[in-house]
Amino acid sequence: MSTAPADLDLIERLARLYTAVVGDILDRRGHTNQVMHPRIKALWPEAKLAGRCLPVACKQVFEPPTGSPYTGLLESVEAIAPGDIYVATVPDGLIGAAWGELLSTAARGSGGRGAVIDGSARDCSQTRSMGFPLFAANRCPADSRGRITVDRFNIPIECGGVIVNPGDYILGDWDGLVVLPPELAESVVSEAEEKAAGETDVRAMLLAGESVSEVFRKTGIL
């Protein structure tokens, strides 16, 4: 994936925003299916991520394969580049964790900025202690070995009800996760920055006692 300075600058700008304002701009543009299902949550309030998606598709297995049971997983983690977010989809209902503390450590060492797992993660306290942003649908202590394996990566997937393509951008905070197609990212971030600044003015008006209806009439922001 590209690690051009302009790309990383855009990621930093995205990181200063919040999911609600970015989701609002995407809604205005007619992209109304870019927010992931709320089952995928930040595992603690301070977990916030922004970056470029590395999509990963996992599948169920019923016994460890001959040889290394982690080949696909290791290859996918080693593909993480600076600015990437590891975004994995796991079949429903599986008992087993597709992510853990050592993978968080490896991702951080490669410049990764977080992980999103539509499935279970483990070692969540340790991952929180190291400050690596982790979003997941569940927690589970069971190892992936003999249960879950990486099928393919760096390909389009569906995660949390959203189609995620390689190179899409993603923003996650305590409210949830929103995905931005790269062709929209610059303009959406710019418009979201303007709306966020406008919301600061709206807060001041509301705190001064103006009615919410009048403030909305004046600003179109709510």
pLDDT at 110: 97
Could you list the residue range(s) of the whole structural domain that residue 88 is in?
5-181
Paired tokens of 50:
């922004």
Euclidean distance between CA atoms 221 and 20, whole angstroms: 12
Asked if the model's pLDDT at residue 101 lies above 60, the reply is yes
- Tell whether 72 is covered by a domain: yes
Q: What is the pLDDT of residues 177-197, one digit of tens each?
A: 999 999 999 999 999 999 988
pLDDT at 212: 81
- Tell whether 217 is covered by a domain: no
Q: Is 152 helix (H, G, I), strand (E, B) or coil?
A: strand
Percent of the chain residues past pLDDT 70, beyond the cut: 96
- Tell whether 204 is covered by a domain: no
- Tell whether 212 is covered by a domain: no
- Tell whether 190 is covered by a domain: no
- Tell whether 195 is covered by a domain: no
pLDDT tier, 44 (very low <50, low <70, confident <90, very high otherwise): very high
pLDDT at 3: 46
- Tell whether 210 is covered by a domain: no
Asked if the model's pLDDT at residue 6 lies above 70, the reply is no
Residue 117 gets which letter from DSSP? E
- Tell whether 205 is covered by a domain: no
Angle, helices 5-15/182-207, rounded to nearest 10 degrees? 30
Instruction: Please say whether the beta carbons of 59 and 144 come within 8 A.
Output: no
Q: What is the pLDDT of residues 112-131, one digit of tens each?
A: 999 999 999 999 999 999 99
The total number of structural domains in the chain stands at 1
Asked if the model's pLDDT at residue 147 lies above 60, the reply is yes
Q: Which of 53, 72, 66 is nearest to 144 (CA)?
A: 72
Asked if the model's pLDDT at residue 219 lies above 90, the reply is no
pLDDT at 172: 98
Q: What are phi and psi of 189, to 5 degrees?
A: -60, -45
Residue type, 108: R
We report the CATH number of the domain holding residue 94 as: 3.50.30.40
pLDDT at 5: 54
